[in-house]
Structures are given as C-alpha cells and as structure tokens.
Amino acid sequence: MSDTILQVRNLKKSYGSHTVLKGLSYDIEQNKIIGLLGPNGCGKTSMIKSIVGLINDYEGEILIDGQKPGAYTKEQVAYLPERNYLASWMTPKSAIKYMADFYKNFNKDRAYELLKAFGLPENQKIKTMSKGMQEKVQLLLVMSRDAKIYILDEPLGGVDPVARDFIMEAIMKNRFAGSTILLSTHLIYDIEKILDGVLMIKDGNLVVNTKVENIVSQGKTVEDLFKEVFSYNPAMEVPYNND
C-alpha cells in the first residue's frame, strides 16, 4: 500500500477571470507534518477548501486516501477553518454531542479531557465566548477525531504567544497515530521545529515543496527560506521543488 495520503494533480481554481490556483501538483505522505506557507491571498485557503470539499468547481484531481473528496474523505479529514463555524447557541457540550453524532472516529472522552485541559466551561454558549476560547473549542473538536489528515488553517492566529506552545503541544499529543498534519500559518517560528516538510505558495503557484532537513542542510531555517522566497526578487523561480 502506498504511503501517500494526499495527492494533488494540476489543481486550478478561478473566480471569474481571476485565477487563484495555477496548476498545483504535490503528494503528501502519511505520518508527516507539513507547513503550508504563503502570504495572504496566495491561494492557501482555496487549496484547503478544495481538499475538504468546500470548493467543488476546480480543475485537476485531488485524491485523499485514494478517493476523490466526498463523504468518505470527509470522515478521514479533520478540518479547522480560520473562522468560527459553530452555531452561536451551541455550547462546548452540545458541540461535542453534535460531532460525536456525525463522526464515527470522534473520541468523546478525549474531547472532555481537552475541554478540561483548555479550561473551557462545558455549558457556556459559543456567542458569549472570546475569540480565543471559540478557537480552542474548535481545535478540541478537531483533535478529538481519529483522522488520517488534520488540516489546520491558522490554529495559532487568535492565541497569545504564551498559549501557542500549549496549543502546539495539544495538537502533537492528540493527533491520531500515523496521521498527517497540514498546517497553514504565518507564525513560522512557532512551528518550525515540528515540521517535516514545507509547501510554499506564491500567486497560485507552488514555489517550494521540500523537506525541512534539506533546508537545514543548507544552513538555513524555514523562516529564512520564506523571507527569501517572498521578498521581491524577479530573478528567482522555484528554488526548491520535489527533492
């Protein structure tokens, strides 16, 4: 059986005349942590939305665990979006019940453990919670699933620097054994040490697809490479790809 959990082939997506994804192709293996990096508007979210089934009118092919996006792949992918997707009347307790009803791989005990670890009240309504608390509720719902892929879009966005390490630790500790994490963030420094590989997207093109060890072997950090790629340099084209 192949180790590849996510295959993307020639992925293109346009909004009218504006093309946001210009033919991305890459494979992601099982049991890896991949950083998805790029400036705002580069196409990261469109790519993620295509993988999780929120965008369907794309060109190209996406295979998750060998299947096209659909009910099966949605069971295998645990997705944390940037925004709050829970109904305002919900409480953490009712949200846990909701997820447990729909996802066979949802672990209720782990959800309550995380709820306690995050210091969140069971019965407080989502609408009365701060943005940071809402993000923690969503994160615990995602990490309580025994998924094959976790796709986390800016999981550290609304949390203070002190809490970031705690959040990263919770992600690492609670991920399902052998699963892959695709992590989209601007806070490269905070995640650099846990990454196995990076994908960098610029203007809808995949400009970097490499292992972190290759970057390090050249005496650089992921952040150095990010600055190099996204600083204005018209001469530079695809510095690292599929090695």
Partner 1 sequence: MIKAIKHDFISTGRIMGVIYAIMAGISAFIILTKNVKEGQLSLIGVLILFVISLCLLVLTAVVVMLDFQKTLYGDQGYLTFTLPVKSWKILASKVIVSGAWFVIALAAILGSMWVAFSSAKEFFTQDDYAMFGDLLEMFVGNTRSVIGMVVTRVVIFFVEFCFFALVIFFTNTLSNTRYFQKHSIFFTILFFIPIFFAVYKISELANEYLVFSLFFVDGKMQFVTDNAVFNQLSAQYSPINISEVFVYLIMAVVLFMVTHYLMSKKVNIR
Q: Does 166 bind partner 1 (CB under 8 A)?
A: no
Residue 193's CB is within 10 A of a number of other CB atoms, namely 10
Q: How many positions of this chain bind partner 1 (CB under 8 A)?
A: 28
Nearest to 95 by CA among 55, 132, 148, 136: 136
Q: Who's near 178: CB < 8 A, 6+ residues apart?
A: 30, 31, 148
Among residues 37, 52, 129, 212, which is the contact residue for partner 1, using CB under 8 A? 52
Based on the shown chain and the rule CB under 8 A, indicate whether residue 18 belongs to the binding site for partner 1: no
Measure the CA–CA gap between 118 and 54, rounded to whole angstroms: 29
Determine which residue in the list 26, 98, 230, 240 makes contact with partner 1, applying CB under 8 A.
98
Smaller CB separation from partner 1, 96 or 222: 96
Q: Which of 8, 36, 55, 229 binds partner 1 (CB under 8 A)?
A: 55
Determine how β-strand 205-211 pairs with β-strand 149-153. Answer: unpaired
Residue 170: in which H helix or E strand, if any?
Answer: helix 161-174
Among 32, 44, 49, 148, binds partner 1 (CB under 8 A): 49
> Binding to partner 1 by residue 118, rule CB under 8 A?
no
Residues that bind partner 1 (CB under 8 A): 15-16, 49, 52-57, 70-72, 74-75, 77, 79, 81, 83-87, 89, 98, 101-104
